[in-house]
């Protein structure tokens, strides 16, 4: 018991800090060390470690990343971004178009990859129009997080929650789409108000010149990716296993005469998949000492309940910003009862909304900031928090209100 708790505590403390002083370890490396320690110190046997990994969740994640890679290499993201560039002359409309586009794409595809593809195009076009890039970049980041909350395939933590909880794709969307749409409108209003002077300025120049490093739009390859997405969503509405459906569609895309499988698999986020594997082992190890059961019993004795929308939302928000959302939901999931499904919905949406609170709360945020920095545009932690805090608070209020109304 002592060993398991010590390894768990050190691992999650390292994940919360994001690094270990004096070492070049990141969160993934720390999680790997925690999983190794669980096996080396015989808290978990090698066979148990393999069984602890939820392979259906990893298969679902992998399949969706392949589909996103198909669309990115096919130039679909370039094409869609170019189609809204004419709105640069009207900054507020352009911001709205960017946020809606990012939200919709993130609901159907991995939000991290959407930001990875759109951020460079957005920065490039804004620099050449003479507009300040920061409001639009923050809009891209927060809207991709909000939009991804609307479906069980929008982000890694939703995939995990949906897979473990067996959440129906259609029912989840019908429940989560309302708070996501309202939160998106709220985020847009907040950004417009906070940057009202900046967004009132007219661009100095508007150009449709193409940057050399944008993926060239290929109508056939993009159509294949879109068809694959439509087929996959259709399969998700059936009783077929989601992981097998995603793998089958991804396998079909890999059978290509032009798109190299090496290029497609290079866009798979192997670090994220490795993080999942390590966290599954760590959580399984600490479950051996029934830590989650004890925590749940302690909360219940003090009058708290995970069926209370306000408490669950607050808990999810705090844990997501301390440990990051994927490790956070792995902590909470064992405490949830299979029924009713509403707490599972709240956990998925709240942990995703919570990613907008601070810059480090979401990988999508970091991707946008890094891609902007590559082109000389800085989005500071403070500037993001100035928008992220009110956006997150308004989104969470909407979520709690919706949970009480929807029941």
DSSP string, 94-145: HHHHHHHHHHHHHHHS-HHHHHHHHHHHHHHHHHHHT--SHHHHHHHHHHHH
Give the whole-angstrom CA distance, residue 150 versus residue 139.
17
Contacts of 96 (CB under 8 A, 6+ apart): 188
**In angstroms, what CA-CA distances link 238 with 65, 75, 229, 232?**
21, 30, 15, 10
- Short-list 32, 13, 25, CA closest to 272: 32
Per residue, what are the HEC states of 232-244?
HHHHHCCCCCHHH
Q: What's residue 205's pLDDT?
A: 54
Q: Are 221 and 255 in contact (CB under 8 A)?
A: no
Q: Are 353 and 391 in contact (CB under 8 A)?
A: no
Q: What's residue 203's pLDDT?
A: 64
Eight-state DSSP code of residue 147: H
Give the whole-angstrom CA distance, residue 125 versus residue 83.
12
- Short-list 107, 279, 87, CA closest to 202: 87
Eight-state DSSP code of residue 215: P
Mean pLDDT per block of 10 residues along the chain (407 residues) reads: 90 84 87 96 94 93 92 89 82 94 92 86 82 93 97 94 94 97 98 91 56 77 95 93 95 93 92 91 86 75 88 93 88 90 97 92 86 88 94 98 92
């Amino acid at each position: 018991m002592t060993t398991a708790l010590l390894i768990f505590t050190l691992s999650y403390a390292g994940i919360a800090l994001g690094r270990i002083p004096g070492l070049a370890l990141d969160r993934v490396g720390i999680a790997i060390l925690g999983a190794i320690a669980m096996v080396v110190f015989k808290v978990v046997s090698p066979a148990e470690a393999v069984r602890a990994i939820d392979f259906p969740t990893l298969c679902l994640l992998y399949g969706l990343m392949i589909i996103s890679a198909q669309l990115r290499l096919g130039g679909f993201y370039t094409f869609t971004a170019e189609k809204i560039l004419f709105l640069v002359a009207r900054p507020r409309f352009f911001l709205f178009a960017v946020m809606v586009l990012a939200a919709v794409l993130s609901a159907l595809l991995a939000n991290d990859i959407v930001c990875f593809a759109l951020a460079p195009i957005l920065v490039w076009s804004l620099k050449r129009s003479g507009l300040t890039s920061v409001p639009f970049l923050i809009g891209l980041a927060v809207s991709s997080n909000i939009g991804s909350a609307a479906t069980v395939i929008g982000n890694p933590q939703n995939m995990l929650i949906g897979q473990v909880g067996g959440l129906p794709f259609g029912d989840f969307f019908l429940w989560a789409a309302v708070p996501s749409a309202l939160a998106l409108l709220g985020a847009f209003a907040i950004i417009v108000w906070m940057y009202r002077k900046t967004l009132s300025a007219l661009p100095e120049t508007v150009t449709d010149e193409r940057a050399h490093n944008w993926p060239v739009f290929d109508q056939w390859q993009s159509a294949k990716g879109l068809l694959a997405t439509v087929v996959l969503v259709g399969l998700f509405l059936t009783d077929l296993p989601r992981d097998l459906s995603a793998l089958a569609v991804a396998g079909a895309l890999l059978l290509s005469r032009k798109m190299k499988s090496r290029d497609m698999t290079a866009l798979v986020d192997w670090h994220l998949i490795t993080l999942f594997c390590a966290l599954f082992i760590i959580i399984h190890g600490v479950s051996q000492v029934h830590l989650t059961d004890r925590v749940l019993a302690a909360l219940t004795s003090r009058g708290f309940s995970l069926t209370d929308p306000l408490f669950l939302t607050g808990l999810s928000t705090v844990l997501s910003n301390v440990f990051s959302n994927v490790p956070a939901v792995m902590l909470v999931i064992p405490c949830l009862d299979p029924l009713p499904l509403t707490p599972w919905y709240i956990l998925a949406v709240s942990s995703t909304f919570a990613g907008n609170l601070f810059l480090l709360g979401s990988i999508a945020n970091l991707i946008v900031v890094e891609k902007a920095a590559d082109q000389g545009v800085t989005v500071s932690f403070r500037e993001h928090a100035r928008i992220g805090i009110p956006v997150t608070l308004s989104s969470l209020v909407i979520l709690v209100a919706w949970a009480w109304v929807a029941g």
